[in-house]
Chain A
């Protein structure tokens, strides 16, 4: 299957590991990702004018038109902006987490077991809220961890906000909120959002923070310990 791919800015920069991970996982499952030609930034949450913000993503959809109708966007903010801008539902804007379903795991080649290791699947906000743009399976990370022999922690904080988008505005807010998540969970933190990743990394101390794609690739036999 071929998908249109919207990496977004952070995946071309600080979240390059998530970009590589997604590409690898998709390639291993026999899917092709083709970038939207000359895509532009989606504006994240930086624009107070709804029309201006939607304009960025509408431009991206225009660039995708005629090339593909299925679009995958890993960054939760990009995904939400793209999906909201597609008012007529002309495209199928999908978050990768929604593609990791039963068929995916059945086809997946398992090389490693998680051996009872403890993980905190941390979704943050935008993957789960608002409802219209939320992912379908809101337990997919937990299911992955238990399916392959790991232990799940931090159920009560999986949807709490880490305050990531305040990190360059009021850093203390981010620190307080991230610590709340860290204190109420154990083990390696598994994230999908690049901004959650940054917030968690900044304040996690000795705790490990990995992308969900790192976890998948680890199970598939790639990379070192998590």
Chain B
């Protein structure tokens, strides 16, 4: 409950803003998550937030939302549902090791330095079944020095 309140503070929305939601479920009819987990309905999430109820970290919408903005594009009020989802992920601290490495690089170099991120995420890449894609990625990725190193 408190977590949810805090999540909304991270967005541009207040709880009462969701009172405009018409319950039309157009968002649900276009939501990309339905391609991987059927029955996903962003409207239901907004309703729970509006009522001050919690939204758990393991909800398919919270886990799988791709940030595609199909819901926003179709919603009569253009509610930015993925922004809300991202705030929920933030308060639930659901970052993957890769995302942690991404932020670590931004904190260190001010930029995402891919070799650093990949190196930091090696255990995750190994156990997560990513190695089989490596040869494909090597076709177009190139390794380079961070800009700060290059410059001096």
A binds B: yes
Q: Are B32 and A163 in touch, CB under 8 angstroms?
A: yes
Report the tally of A-B residue pairs with Cβ distances under 8 A.
125
Q: Are A166 and B140 in touch, CB under 8 angstroms?
A: no
B61 in contact (CB, < 8 A): no
Please tell me which one of the listed residues A41, A131, A161, A177 contacts residue B106 in the complex, with CB atoms under 8 A apart.
A41
Give the complex CA separation of A34 and B137 in angstroms: 29
* Given A13-B141, A130-B80: A168 and B98 interface contact (C-beta under 8 Å): yes
- The interface bits of chain B over 65-83 (1 if a CB of A lies within 8 angstroms of the residue's CB, else 0) are 0111110110000101011
Q: Are B112 and A130 in touch, CB under 8 angstroms?
A: no
Please tell me which one of the listed residues B10, B64, B139 contacts residue A170 in the complex, with CB atoms under 8 A apart.
B64
A114 in contact (CB, < 8 A): no
Distance to closest chain A CB from B8 (angstroms)? 11
Closest A residue, CB atoms, query B33? A173
Please tell me which one of the listed residues A47, A131, A161 contacts residue B78 in the complex, with CB atoms under 8 A apart.
A131
Distance to closest chain A CB from B144 (angstroms)? 7
Please tell me which one of the listed residues A50, A166, A197 contacts residue B83 in the complex, with CB atoms under 8 A apart.
A50
Give chain A residues whose Cβ lies under 8 Å from the Cβ of B142.
Answer: 13-14, 16
- The interface bits of chain A over 4-34 (1 if a CB of B lies within 8 angstroms of the residue's CB, else 0) are 0000011011101100000000000000000
Distance to closest chain A CB from B43 (angstroms)? 18
Q: Are B67 and A45 in touch, CB under 8 angstroms?
A: yes
Q: Are A50 and B72 in touch, CB under 8 angstroms?
A: no
Give chain B residues whose Cβ lies under 8 Å from the Cβ of A56.
Answer: 106
Closest A residue, CB atoms, query B142? A16
Give the complex CA separation of A126 and B112 in angstroms: 20
* Given A43-B106, A48-B91: A161 and B66 interface contact (C-beta under 8 Å): yes
Q: Are B36 and A201 in touch, CB under 8 angstroms?
A: no
Please tell me which one of the listed residues B7, B10, B136 contacts residue A201 in the complex, with CB atoms under 8 A apart.
B136
Q: Which of A148-180 contact B (CB under 8 A)?
A: 160-161, 163-166, 168-173, 176-177, 180
Give chain A residues whose Cβ lies under 8 Å from the Cβ of B70.
Answer: 125, 129, 161
Q: Are B90 and A50 in touch, CB under 8 angstroms?
A: no
Give chain A residues whose Cβ lies under 8 Å from the Cβ of B102.
Answer: 44, 46
Give the complex CA separation of A183 and B9 in angstroms: 41
Give the complex CA separation of A46 and B101 in angstroms: 11
Q: Which of A62-118 contact B (CB under 8 A)?
A: none
Give chain A residues whose Cβ lies under 8 Å from the Cβ of B69.
Answer: 125-126, 129-130
* Given A16-B142, A40-B111, A125-B68: A47 and B136 interface contact (C-beta under 8 Å): no
Distance to closest chain B CB from A34 (angstroms)? 16
Please tell me which one of the listed residues B32, B35, B112 contacts residue A9 in the complex, with CB atoms under 8 A apart.
B112
Closest B residue, CB atoms, query A52? B10
Q: Are A170 and B63 in touch, CB under 8 angstroms?
A: yes
Give chain A residues whose Cβ lies under 8 Å from the Cβ of B73.
Answer: 128-131
Give chain B residues whose Cβ lies under 8 Å from the Cβ of A17.
Answer: 140
Q: Which of A16, A48, A164, A177 has the most CB of B within 10 A?
A: A48
Distance to closest chain A CB from B66 (angstroms)? 5
Distance to closest chain B CB from A200 (angstroms)? 11
A202 in contact (CB, < 8 A): yes
Closest A residue, CB atoms, query B129? A171
Give chain B residues whose Cβ lies under 8 Å from the Cβ of A173.
Answer: 36, 64, 66
A: residues with CB less than 8 A from B are: 9-10, 12-14, 16-17, 40-41, 43-51, 56, 125-126, 128-131, 160-161, 163-166, 168-173, 176-177, 180, 197-198, 201-202
Which are the 3 A-B pairs with shortest beta-carbon distances? A48-B90, A168-B98, A161-B68
